[in-house]
Amino acid sequence: MEEGWVIGKCNAFIIAGSAGSLNVLLQVLPDLNVAIAFPIIIIVHRRHGADSLLPALLSARTGLIVKEADEKEKILPGTIYIAPSDYHLLIEQDETFSLDYSEKINYSRPSIDATFQTAAEVYKTGLHCLLLSGSNADGVNGMKTVKAWGGMALIQDPESAQVSYMPEQAKQQVAIDRILAVEDIAEFINLLS
């Protein structure tokens, strides 16, 4: 990892992606510090009804609590929340989740943009968002909102992505704060604790 990185305060960390992102999550989660002082929210594009075992799969890779986000649930530190399939996961001002079944955004529900945008208004400069491998531009507009509120925009190095389109679009359209190699992601998150 590069020396001299400025690490700001983190109140919430969102990891989002589409095609190829699950492999990254399976590599990152085992190396996360179990004493993380903020929530981690994961948005992964998946078909409705598919990957219902995703929370169990990810839970087996980490000592942190891993669960699917529930309506009106209080967002707690040290917990990994996964967006349910076929719902937009919105962050409310009282730091609870709201599940939304409105139209798809960028052909996706859950939409990365929707979560990034609502989280940015709540967590402002304390928000860190990481965009992983994926095949569409979902997340790019959300990252613009994150930056507008003073949050940190991060991407997986597109060269290491199974599908580089999503992080590459963010790199081209957003003032990205950090481009992370897969092997550096867990270390970066741990430094925020």
**Which residue, among 38, 43, 8, has the nearest Cα to 151 in the 3D structure?**
8
Rounded Cα–Cα distance for residues 80 and 32 (Å): 11
Q: Mind giving me the DSSP string for 11-80?
A: SEEEEEESTTHHHHHHHHGGGS-TT-SS-EEEEE---TTTTTTHHHHHHTT-SSEEEE--TTPBP-TTEE
Helix axes 182-191, 21-28, angle to 10 degrees: 50
Strand 127-131 and strand 97-100: the pairing is unpaired
Catalytic residues: 18, 45, 138
Q: Which two tokens stand for residue 141?
A: 């507009």
Helix (H, G, I), strand (E, B) or coil at 183: helix
Q: Give residue for tokens 């529930």.
A: 70
